[in-house]
Amino acid sequence: NAGVTQTPKFRILKIGQSMTLQCTQDMNHNYMYWYRQDPGMGLKLIYYSVGAGITDKGEVPNGYNVSRSTTEDFPLRLELAAPSQTSVYFCASTVRQGTFFGQGTRLTVV
Amino acid sequence: QQQVKQSPQSLIVQKGGISIINCAYENTAFDYFPWYQQFPGKGPALLIAIRPDVSEKKEGRFTISFNKSAKQFSLHIMDSQPGDSATYFCAATGSGSARQLTFGSGTQLTVLP
């Protein structure tokens, strides 16, 4: 039981490039989320999913896409990277006991 | 619209002292209020949480106080230790939602030895 696993831990992208941030959980949780964290700010919700095949926009979805083909995986896609997407990204999943976060992906767009 | 306001932004406490972080919320549909602790380079870790049917919850040195009428809740860290130095986030979520969390802006706590 590894909890919520994110890859990669670090990435540098050039403006206009695309990439996928991977997130997987082995706890059979239905609810999963992507947040971004900017310096001095709280976490902002990008997208969330309440189960396989169901996704919805959060507070800051522009420039991102997600998919949820299985219960375990919830990848986040950046299609045309922009400097404003430089941030730390956290994937999370929720059960009755609470919401648990991965270790984060630090993304820099240059 | 910021739905959860957190203060102070930073806090410095001497070892053995009490650290107090405050949060206020606007949405009366919120029904679960967790606190997260985050160390540099790590993801937020659930520390303690409370539901609005109780006014206080204590786990070890950590206590949440909850005032439903004022729509405020706070985290008290008793006998603060240097190892408690971290960023603390309050959050809230509602029963009718997909349980997504709305976060405060965070408090950077430094406990001096």
- Whether B34 shows a pLDDT value over 80: the answer reads yes
User: pLDDT at position B72, please?
Assistant: 97
Residue in B9, B93, B103 closest to A43 by CB: B103
- Determine whether A107 is exposed, middle or buried from the number of CB atoms within 10 Å of its CB (0-12, 13-18, 19+): buried
Residues 6+ apart with CB under 8 A from B1: B26
Count the helix, strand and coil residues of chain B and give each as a percent rounded to the nearest 5. 5, 55, 40
User: pLDDT at position B94, please?
Assistant: 83
User: pLDDT at position B97, please?
Assistant: 67
Q: Do B34 and A99 touch (CB under 8 A)?
A: yes
User: pLDDT at position B62, please?
Assistant: 97
User: pLDDT at position B95, please?
Assistant: 63
Cα(A44)–Cα(A52) distance, rounded to whole angstroms?
22
- Whether A96 shows a pLDDT value over 80: the answer reads no
Q: Do B34 and A104 touch (CB under 8 A)?
A: no
Q: Do B46 and A100 touch (CB under 8 A)?
A: yes
Q: Amino acid identity of B9? A: Q
Question: Which has more confidence, B95 or A21?
Answer: A21
Question: Which has more confidence, B20 or B96?
Answer: B20
Which residues of chain A from 31 to 70 reach within 8 Å of chain B, CB to CB? 31, 33, 40-45, 48, 50, 56, 58
**At residue A46, what are phi and psi to the nearest 5 degrees?**
-95, -60
pLDDT tens-place string over residues A39-68: 878 899 999 999 999 999 999 999 999 999
Cα(A47)–Cα(A34) distance, rounded to whole angstroms?
5
Q: How far is A42 from chain B (nearest CA, A)?
A: 4
Q: Do A101 and B43 touch (CB under 8 A)?
A: yes
Cα(B60)–Cα(B66) distance, rounded to whole angstroms?
17
- Whether A97 shows a pLDDT value over 90: the answer reads no
Mean pLDDT of A9-24: 96
**At residue B82, what are phi and psi to the nearest 5 degrees?**
-55, -30
Residue identified by tokens 């230790």 is B81
Q: Residue A1: pLDDT band by 50, 70, 90 thresholds?
A: low
- Whether B2 shows a pLDDT value over 60: the answer reads no
CA B94 to chain CA centroid, nearest Å: 16
Query: How close are the terminal C-alpha atoms of chain B, in Å?
Result: 38
Q: Do B101 and A56 touch (CB under 8 A)?
A: no
Interface test with A, best of B25, B30, B95, B101 (most A CBs within 10 A): B101
Q: Do A102 and B42 touch (CB under 8 A)?
A: no
Mean pLDDT of B10-36: 95
Residues of B in contact with A99 (CB under 8 A): 34, 46, 93, 99, 101
pLDDT tens-place string over residues B86-103: 999 999 998 666 888 999
> How open is the CA angle A63-A65-A70, to the nearest 5 degrees?
165
Residue in B34, B100, B104 closest to A45 by CB: B100
Q: Amino acid identity of B62? A: F
